[in-house]
Amino acid sequence: MKKSKIILGGLAVMTSTLLAACGASFSKTAANQKLNWMEEAELSTIDVSKIMDDVSFNQVNQVMEGLYTLGNNAKVKNALATKATVSKDGKTWTFKIRKNAKWSNGQALTAKDFVYSWKRTVDPKTASEYSYLFSGIKNADAIVAGKKKASTLGIKPWASTSWLSA
């Protein structure tokens, strides 16, 4: 039953694509645009600190952007980070955040947003399955183990809110 639904869904997408390709082209874009997206299961969460399943990861990756992304041939390229510098000892990384980065409500995305998110992810109260990914950041392991407060995570925004150091 599930297999037939997947096949039927795939055929519907292919048919829609073919019909769209045959239609007349219009130069004017509709004011109200809508995208319908089908997934194999219900989203468990869109909380980036609590995601544990592929379906939720796929959806969040469609609507959120990180400091970097993978480009053609799986090459890393800038996304929200426009520049990164590394200290001589290799312990401090500083990222310049893209100036035109905005949330869906139009509010500017700042380095403080990264600080909040990363501290929240390593906080044991959040119980993030992926907090170990922050292990290389100062105090992260101690925070995850409950030995230090999340506020001690070695990340900070600079005076200009478009710079972030970790």
With respect to residue 18, please indicate whether it lies within any of the assigned structural domains: no
Mean pLDDT across the chain: 83
Alpha-carbon span 104 to 74, nearest angstrom: 27
With respect to residue 39, please indicate whether it lies within any of the assigned structural domains: no
With respect to residue 36, please indicate whether it lies within any of the assigned structural domains: no
List 96's β-bridge partners, or say none: 83, 163
Domain hosting residue 70, numbered range: 47-165
With respect to residue 72, please indicate whether it lies within any of the assigned structural domains: yes
Cα first-last separation, the chain = 49
pLDDT score recorded for residue 38: 78
More confident residue, 161 or 59: 59
Flag whether pLDDT at 139 surpasses 70: yes
Alpha-carbon span 99 to 21, nearest angstrom: 37
Flag whether pLDDT at 120 surpasses 90: yes
Work out how many domains the chain is built from and give that number: 1
pLDDT digits (tens, 9 = 90+) for 101-114: 998 899 999 999 99
Q: What pTM, to 2 d.p., does this model score?
A: 0.72
More confident residue, 23 or 148: 148
With respect to residue 37, please indicate whether it lies within any of the assigned structural domains: no
pLDDT digits (tens, 9 = 90+) for 53-98: 888 888 888 888 889 998 999 999 999 999 999 999 999 999 999 9
Least confident window among 32-41, 47-56, 102-111: 32-41
Distances (CA, A) of 24 to 12, 20, 21, 27, 65: 20, 8, 8, 10, 34
Distances (CA, A) of 47 to 35, 51, 69, 120: 21, 6, 19, 11
For the segment 114-125, the average pLDDT, to the nearest whole number, is: 95
Distances (CA, A) of 122 to 46, 59, 68, 117, 149: 17, 22, 20, 9, 9
The per-residue b/e assignment along 7-38, b for 16 or more CB within 10 angstroms, e otherwise, is eeeeeeeeeeeeeeeeeeeeeeeeeeeeeeee
With respect to residue 23, please indicate whether it lies within any of the assigned structural domains: no
With respect to residue 10, please indicate whether it lies within any of the assigned structural domains: no
With respect to residue 41, please indicate whether it lies within any of the assigned structural domains: no
